């Protein structure tokens, strides 16, 4: 009964994030594959879009590189490099323009000293450490408590929960960073005359779907944290 109840808790906490994640992924895929086939009226590739946006803000020192893979695009604030996937770097599509502008949006945040981006970057090492160690500590502590009945096991498990909270914080601070980068992207694409207003529908669809994947990641992380807390509380 005890483990069945834990299983039901797991379903209740994990399912919303899981379903939202699957929905967001399918939205990203369908929007990307549709608008990767639509050429921009100015026939301008993603790398050129990014270069124009960066240069218009004086960010000549931000480099743009091509990286392998699909949707592997990101901005690296440590090295001031904007890395665009092949399908974005070379292609003059609406999807490519939207993604290139979004990543440029992160470079604009960096240049403007946007606080949430700095906090997010600072949290990266701690998050990598905690997301590896937290499940391990939790599992060891939890089973120590169950099989040896020691209260010490619960302390270890709670330490795992505290560490996991850092990973949750990271997914939450990611939300304003991503939403703001997309907001800047949409604004810049029109004001810099890179896209015409009637081309923005595709950009909106691609970027909004991508934003939803970050919401799903946050919901998943919060659900996992609540699950950990609930089953530990039941042990006490
Ligand atoms: Zn982003």
CA 121–ligand 1 middle distance (angstroms): 12
What string of DSSP letters covers 66-111? EESSSS--EEETTTTEEEEEHHHHS--BHHHHHHHHHHHHHHHHHH
CA 103–ligand 1 middle distance (angstroms): 6
Q: How do the pLDDT tens digits run along the chain, 236 residues long?
A: 566 677 888 888 889 999 999 999 999 999 999 999 999 999 999 999 999 999 999 999 999 999 999 999 999 999 999 999 999 999 999 999 999 999 999 999 999 999 999 999 999 999 999 989 998 999 899 888 888 877 788 899 999 999 999 999 999 999 999 999 999 999 999 999 999 999 999 999 999 999 999 999 999 999 999 999 998 888 77
CA 99–ligand 1 middle distance (angstroms): 9
Can you tell me the distance from the alpha carbon of 135 to that of 218, in angstroms, rounded to the nearest whole number? 17
Query: Which positions are annotated as active-site residues?
Result: 103
Can you tell me the distance from the alpha carbon of 38 to that of 33, in angstroms, rounded to the nearest whole number? 9
Residues, beta carbon < 5 Å, ion ligand 1: 178, 181
CA 178–ligand 1 middle distance (angstroms): 5
CA 74–ligand 1 middle distance (angstroms): 7
Cβ 111 vs Cβ 59: under 8 Å? yes
């Amino acid at each position: 009964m005890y483990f069945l109840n834990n299983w039901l808790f797991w379903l209740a906490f994990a399912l919303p994030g899981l379903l939202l994640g699957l929905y967001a992924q399918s939205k990203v895929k369908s929007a990307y594959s549709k608008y990767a086939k639509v050429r921009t009226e100015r026939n301008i590739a993603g790398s050129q879009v990014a270069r124009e946006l960066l240069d218009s803000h004086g960010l000549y020192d931000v480099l743009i590189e091509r990286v392998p893979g699909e949707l592997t695009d990101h901005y690296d604030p440590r090295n001031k490099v904007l890395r665009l996937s092949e399908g974005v770097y070379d292609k003059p599509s609406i999807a490519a323009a939207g993604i290139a502008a979004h990543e440029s949006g992160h470079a604009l945040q960096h240049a403007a000293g946007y606080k949430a981006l700095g906090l997010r970057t600072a949290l990266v090492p701690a998050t990598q450490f905690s997301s590896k160690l937290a499940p391990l500590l939790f599992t060891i502590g939890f089973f120590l408590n169950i099989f040896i009945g020691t209260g010490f096991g619960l302390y270890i498990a709670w330490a795992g929960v505290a560490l996991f909270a850092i990973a949750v914080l990271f997914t939450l601070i990611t939300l304003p960073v991503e939403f703001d980068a997309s907001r800047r992207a949409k604004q810049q694409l029109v004001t810099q005359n890179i896209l015409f207003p009637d081309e923005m529908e595709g950009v909106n669809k691609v970027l909004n779907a991508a934003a939803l994947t970050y919401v799903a990641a946050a919901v998943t992380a919060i659900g996992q944290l609540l699950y950990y807390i609930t089953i530990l509380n039941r042990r006490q």
